Structures are given as structure tokens and as C-alpha cells.
Amino acid sequence: MKNVDYSKMINVTNDRYRLKFHIAPPFGWMNDPNGLVFFKGYYHVFYQYYPYDSSWGPMHWGHCRSKDLIHWEQLPIALVPGNKEDKDGCFSGSAIVKNDKLYLIYTGHHYYARKDPDHFWQNQNIAYSEDGVHFVKYKGNPVIATPPKDNTQHFRDPKIWKENEYYYVILGSQNNDGVGRVITYRSKNLVNWEYLGVITQSKSPNKQGFMWECPDLFKLNGKSILLFSPQGIQKVDKKYLNLYQTGYFVGNMDYQNNQFSHDKFKELDHGHDFYATQTMESPDGRRIVIGWMDMWENDMPEKKDGWAGALTIPRELTLKNNHLYMTPVRELKNLRNKTLIDKQINIHSTTLKIPDPQHLELDLQASLNHWGGNKFVFMLQKSNQEILSLTFNNRNKELTLFREGKDPYRYGTISSSNKLKLQIFIDTSSIEIFVNNGETVFSERYYAEGKSNITLESDKGLLCNVRAYSVGH
């Protein structure tokens, strides 16, 4: 593997937007989370990484690990591109443990000519490690050299798992008619892969996407979930408002016939900044998901400071009534430093007394039974100007998220409920809002320097249990 050139790495020049308890690059650019796995006592998270600039460049795999999902230790860069199998980038992929070794499977990216970024080809490769820190690329790479005949050059993001005696990988791909799809391969030894075919594909480029990135297939409550990031879905009313989406199908995977039957596509998160998720199973059987907390082509003001990108907090996925709920993993409770507020407040317009609202967990719970009001607002302000807010409309159970700047609104709903529960994590330049135990979630980056405050408002007095904790290391 090529060496990294430490002398050329970019420096962080200002830490005004640096997050304290999220995974973010020490410097340089980050996008997708990769290779989520538990190995020899540590959770490992790799990520798409470019250490020489705060913009995307030839992809490396950055690497960090944690014993508890909340304290993350940065490790040396795991994969450096430049070998013949991955000349222009080590794109997204996943990890699996076999015989006490950690294996990575990832996409090699290749340009025909540097000047033409749309003219490329992709293959699949593996690398392995005994200690989970130092990785060696397999000498026989690529392990999957070319896409199936009816595929375009879009052929990437292998996610690996084991089912009975086979290893499977699912890949994001595009067929020659220009629609997104997922295809599978199987292997007994991680090296020789047999192509099985298409398990499901987009109905049309505009309705379900022209390319499906970062697919992931796993089981919850006996159902199979296909989680993926389609590109090209056109917005419909208040849905699919981001450049690209991340969402899922609930269904059944028929391994015998290599077919995935499913219901309709649903977005997993309703915020501006959520993409390219990956999941893993924790040792105690929880399905944990992490996403890239940004979106392609969004402004990322931290670029000026020598870095860009962050991942969401780890979240547990559960399935209820064919709907995926996302809740912060329970380990996040150990991040609470100090209880700042723990009382019942009758909300009309209340500014919370919190010394540092930008490093905070805020839990709000209200019964809607005897309220008689219609509107409840959570608001983050700076010098009386709204930076970000979430408005709940009790009549139609709709949530409207506002973020200052262009394209400010995002929407979600909750099913009829006599309770409103918001669990909110704020970390310098990010805010994640979990509504009613993760039925609806908003993930957002925001950029405000200096002192902000939090205000709660209601059009009619609403009795609310308010708990606030300072969080961080």
C-alpha cells in the first residue's frame, strides 16, 4: 500500500465548528461511514476520507474505534489509494470478521482520464488486518473485476454479511437503461465471488432513482430491510427535498430465488443532512446505524477551517408496524455531565437558562390530552434571530423544521399520539432531533458562532417536562 504524505496534510485553522462527541475528521474531508464492525473489543468506524484538502479528493479510508460508541479514538489511515486495483480511490465498503481477522471489502475507483470525472470504471477489492489497526491489501485483488454485462460503470459500495454457509455482498448499481438497482454476489471464502443477479430495482429514474448508492440488507423482527441511498428521485410535495435521499423498503429476501419483495420507499430521516448510511449488529444484537451528516453539494462553512463533514451519533434501529424507528444508542446517556434543568414548565414563551446550549441534550415531554392548543415550537436563536426551529402542529401532527439560509424547510409527521416527546442533541454545528421515540428524526448541520439560546413557545400553555444535560467529554 502507498504511504500517506504527512507533510502535505491540511491543518485545522479554526475550531469554531468542531464537534465534541461526534465522529468527524481530525482534518481534511469526510463523507460516508464505511466498515462498521465490532472486532476484538472495539467498535470500528471507517470513513471516506481525503486528508490533503477540505474538499473531496482521491478517497482514503479514515479510521476510528471506540469501546463504548461514544468515545472515539482516531487511528492511522486504513486504506490509501494508488495501487493498480484502486488507482484513483478506495470508495465505500464494509467489514466482516472471519477466523479472528478483520476483512474490508471496498470499491476501487479508476478514471480513464483525470480530466473527465464522469468517465470511470469500478471494481471490488479486499484488505485484511490481524490487529484491527494495520491493513494489507489482498494480493489477488480485484476479487470482483467487472460489473455484469447489463450494468453501466456505476458499480460500488459492497456491503457484506454471512447467511448460512455463504458470504454475500450487495452492491449499488445502475443498469444500461439508466435505473438504479441492487445486485448480489456470494462466496465461501471472500475471494471467489459468484454473481447471483438483481434483487430489486428502481421503477423509474425520476420516481425511484437512476443510481442506488450504499445498499444495506439486514433483518429486524423477521422482516428484511433494504436501506439505501437513491439518486435522482424528484421531489413530491413535502417529500424527497434533499439532493439525494436515504431510505428503505421493508420486505422479504428470498435467498433461493435471489429476489427481494417489498413495499414502498420511505425516507429514514427528514433533515437536510443525512446520507449514505451503514448499519452493523452490536454484540448484544442491536442494529446500529450511522449516516453521513451532510449532503453532496451543500455549503460546508467548516471547509474554510481545514476540515469538512461529520457522522451522526450512533442510533439503534427498530421496526414497528413496518416503520423504522431511530433512537440514540443507550450509551449516549453516559455522555451526560450535569443536569442543568429537570422540572415541569408551563410553556408560553420560555427561554431556557442554559450556559452552553451548543453542547446539550434536551429532553422534552408533554401530554397533549388537555392542552387545547395547536402550535408548539422549539427554537435555537442567536441575538433574537432564529437559526433553527421545529414547529409541531397538533391538528395534522406535522413537524416543520426551519433552518436559516437557502431552502430552509423540511417536513415530517408523527402518527396520532397523545404525547409529544423531543430528544435533541446539539453539538457545536449539528443538531439531531428525535421525535416520539424516533418515529421521525431530523439531522441538521448549522453554523452559528458565539452565544445562542433556546426558546420554547406554545400558542396555549403546555405543561412540559423539561430535562437538559450538558454533554461532551
Residues annotated catalytic, as ranges: 32
DSSP characters over 256-321 = TTTEEEE---EES--SSS-EEEEEEE-TTS-EEEEEESS-TT---GGGGGTEE--BPPPEEEEEET
CB of 214 to ligand FRU, least distance (A): 6
Among 214, 250, 289, 390, binds ligand FRU (CB under 6 A): 214
In whole angstroms, how close is the CB of 284 to ligand FRU at the nearest point?
A: 29
Indicate the residue among 231 and 452 with the shorter CB distance to ligand FRU. 231
| Residue 428 interacts with ligand FRU (CB under 6 A): yes or no | no
- Position 59 contacts ligand FRU (CB under 6 A): yes
- CB within 8 Å of 135: residues ≥ 6 apart: 1, 78, 79, 104, 127, 128, 129
Cα distances from 277 to residues 45, 176, 293, in angstroms, run: 12, 26, 9
Interaction residues for ligand FRU, span 279-298 (CB under 6 A): none
- Is the bond into 51 cis (omega within 30 degrees of 0)? no
44 contacts ligand FRU (rule: CB under 6 A):
no
Kindly state the smallest distance separating residue 174's Cβ from ligand FRU, in Å.
Answer: 11
The pairing of beta strand 266-267 with beta strand 247-254? antiparallel
- Mark residues 99-138: x for contact with ligand FRU by CB under 6 A, - for none: --------x-------------------------------
CB of 106 to ligand FRU, least distance (A): 8
| Closest distance to ligand FRU from the beta carbon of 275 (Å) | 6
Q: Which of 26, 47, 153 is nearest to 91 (CA)?
A: 47
Q: Looking at beta carbons only, is 104 or 399 nearer to ligand FRU?
A: 104
C-alpha pair distances (Å), 249 with each of 92, 227, 367, 377, 452: 21, 7, 32, 32, 39
DSSP string for residues in 165-186:
TEEEEEEEEEETTS-EEEEEEE
Query: Dihedral of the CA atoms 401, 71, 17, 354 (nearest 10)?
Result: 60
252 SS3 class = strand
91 binds ligand FRU (CB under 6 A): yes
Binding to ligand FRU (CB under 6 A): which residues in 246-275? 275
Which one of residues 30, 31, 60, 458 is an interface residue with ligand FRU (CB under 6 A)?
Answer: 31
Nearer to ligand FRU, 31 or 429 (CB): 31
Rounded alpha-carbon distances, angstroms, from residue 11 to 2, 62, 368, 384, 427:
21, 16, 50, 34, 21
Exposed, middle or buried by CB within 10 Å (0-12, 13-18, 19+), for 433? Answer: buried
Nearest residue (CB) to ligand FRU, 108 versus 357:
108
Name the residue nearer to ligand FRU (CB basis): 48 or 428: 48
- One residue of 250, 276, 431, 435 binding ligand FRU per CB under 6 A: 276
How near is the Cβ of 235 to ligand FRU at its closest, in Å? 19
In this structure, which long-range contacts are made by residues 344-348, counting pairs with CB atoms below 8 Å and at least 24 apart in sequence?
344/463, 344/464, 344/465, 344/466, 345/456, 345/463, 345/464, 345/466, 346/461, 346/462, 346/463, 346/464, 347/376, 347/456, 347/457, 347/458, 347/461, 347/462, 347/463, 347/464, 348/457, 348/458, 348/461
Nearer of residues 179 and 347 to ligand FRU, judged by Cβ: 179
| Nearest distance, CB of residue 53 and ligand FRU, angstroms | 14
Nearest alpha-carbon partner for 463 in 399, 425, 420, 433: 420
Query: Quick check: 11 and 306 in contact, CB under 8 A?
Result: yes
DSSP state of 205: H
C-beta separation of 4 from 29 below 8 A: no
Residue 58 or 408: the one with the smaller Cβ distance to ligand FRU is: 58
Residue 156 in contact with ligand FRU, rule: CB under 6 A: yes
- Based on CB atoms, which residue is closest to ligand FRU, 46 or 325? 46
Q: Of the two residues 249 and 292, which places its CB atom closer to ligand FRU in the complex? A: 292
User: Please, what is the minimum distance in Å from the beta carbon of residue 89 to ligand FRU?
Assistant: 7
Q: Which of 19, 49, 92, 325 binds ligand FRU (CB under 6 A)?
A: 92
Question: Min. distance of Cβ 278 from ligand FRU in angstroms?
Answer: 10
Q: Which residue of 85, 86, 88, 157 would you call a contact of ligand FRU, by CB under 6 A? A: 157
| Distances from the Cα of 225 to the Cα of 132, 250, 262, 313, 324, angstroms | 28, 5, 9, 21, 9
Footprint of ligand FRU (CB under 6 A): 31-32, 48, 59, 91-92, 107, 156-157, 213-214, 275-276
